[in-house]
């Protein structure tokens, strides 16, 4: 009898303990859900998010909640304007770069051996134009192209950093097959093909050919004021020393793996592969980091910029080029 009572008593304790643990877990889950909902409300307000209906908003909240777990995995991650997108959606909308790895050997950069690689930041020198926003168009290649040319013009004494702005839309509309080796538009593109177009046709100011974030018909620009380049140069693929040597003279268009930049807020980023999916502009170097200008608006990262660990982080040394005026 005593043995039976003891067994019953132990069973009751076990059930009670299990119930307490379950209650504690449920309470924790409820608090986590409430915290996520509070963060989601703040996110919507900060980034002016609007959804078509309650069901769609509920779905986006689910995606946001899943991404809250992702950003715990890296110290450079945080809540960004892309937190309501799945990784697949983000890639489809923003990571459409198509790199042509067949470099023209007549345009390969050959740095001098005696160049001292010093720390440099062209933003502090006033030789970088303001950060722009490509919107939901896969036109990063166009922004990298115009950014490089804008900086080259500023360095040569042409224009002012706060007013000089070249037309990304002209590149989006006009640099495409069959004449150029890319689909162009918001689907895919590459800086070298854009440079080829500008060598032949020059490029308009953004004020004359404004950005719309959608692919349009190539306009007649013969009446517009235009800017010219004479050629472009490819940095040897994988040669990080050559890239930093080129950077001593001017910013450089580069391609990187940007998959996890969806979550980047600040710091020196290195959580990436060398699968090149996005075009940006390399504008600075220090012993601790590379500084790059993005085209996702000033709310992204560090006022529109981000930093990479020095070296071939995210494949930054693998597909770099720059214009020659």
Q: Which residues are part of the catalytic machinery?
A: 140, 278, 294
Alpha carbon distance, N-terminus to C-terminus of the chain: 99
Quickly count: other Cβ atoms within 10 Å of residue 124's Cβ: 11
Positive or negative torsion for Cα 282, 204, 227, 218: positive
Under DSSP, the state recorded for 217 is P
Q: What angle do CA 282, 137, 95 make, to 5 degrees?
A: 55
- In whole angstroms, give the CA distance from residue 133 to residue 213: 9
- Residue 148's Cα: distance from chain center in Å? 16
User: Which residues, including other chains, have CB under 8 Å from residue 1's CB and lie 6 or more apart?
Assistant: none
Helix (H) or strand (E) holding 291: strand 290-293
DSSP codes joined into one string, 220-259: --TTS-EE---EEEEPPTT-HHHHHHHHTTS-EEEEE--G
**What Å distances lie between residue 281 and 91, 144, 256, 293, 318, CA to CA?**
19, 5, 10, 5, 14
H helices, E strands: number in the chain:
7, 10
Contact 308, 316 (CB under 8 A): yes
**What Å distances lie between residue 216 and 46, 174, 185, 262, CA to CA?**
31, 9, 8, 27
């Amino acid at each position: 009898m005593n043995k039976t009572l003891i067994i019953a008593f132990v069973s009751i304790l076990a059930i009670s303990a299990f119930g307490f643990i379950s209650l504690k877990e449920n309470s924790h889950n409820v608090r986590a859900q409430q915290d996520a909902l509070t963060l989601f409300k703040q996110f919507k307000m900060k980034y002016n998010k609007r959804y078509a209906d309650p069901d769609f908003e509920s779905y986006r909240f689910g995606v946001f909640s899943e991404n809250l777990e992702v950003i715990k995995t890296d110290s450079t991650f945080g809540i960004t304007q892309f937190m309501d997108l799945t990784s697949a959606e983000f890639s489809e909308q923003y990571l459409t770069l198509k790199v042509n790895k067949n470099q023209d050997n007549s345009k390969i950069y050959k740095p001098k051996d005696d160049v001292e690689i010093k720390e440099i930041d062209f933003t502090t020198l006033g030789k970088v134009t303001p950060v722009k926003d490509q919107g939901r168009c896969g036109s990063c290649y166009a922004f990298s192209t115009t950014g490089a040319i804008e900086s080259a013009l500023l360095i040569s004494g042409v224009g002012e950093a706060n007013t000089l702005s070249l037309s990304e839309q002209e590149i989006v509309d006009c640099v495409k097959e069959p004449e150029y080796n890319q689909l162009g538009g918001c689907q895919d593109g590459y800086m070298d093909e854009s440079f080829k177009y500008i060598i032949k046709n020059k490029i308009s100011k953004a004020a004359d050919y404004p950005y719309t974030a959608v692919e349009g018909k190539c306009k007649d620009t013969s009446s517009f004021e235009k800017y010219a380049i004479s050629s472009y140069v490819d940095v040897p693929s994988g040669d990080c020393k050559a890239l930093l040597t080129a950077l001593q003279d001017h910013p450089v268009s580069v391609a990187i793996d940007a998959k996890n930049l969806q979550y980047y807020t600040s710091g020196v980023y290195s959580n990436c592969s060398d699968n090149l999916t996005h075009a940006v502009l390399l504008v600075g170097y220090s012993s601790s980091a590379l500084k790059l200008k993005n085209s996702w608006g000033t709310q992204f990262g560090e006022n529109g910029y981000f930093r990479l660990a020095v070296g071939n982080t995210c494949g930054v040394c693998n597909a770099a080029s720059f214009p020659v005026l």
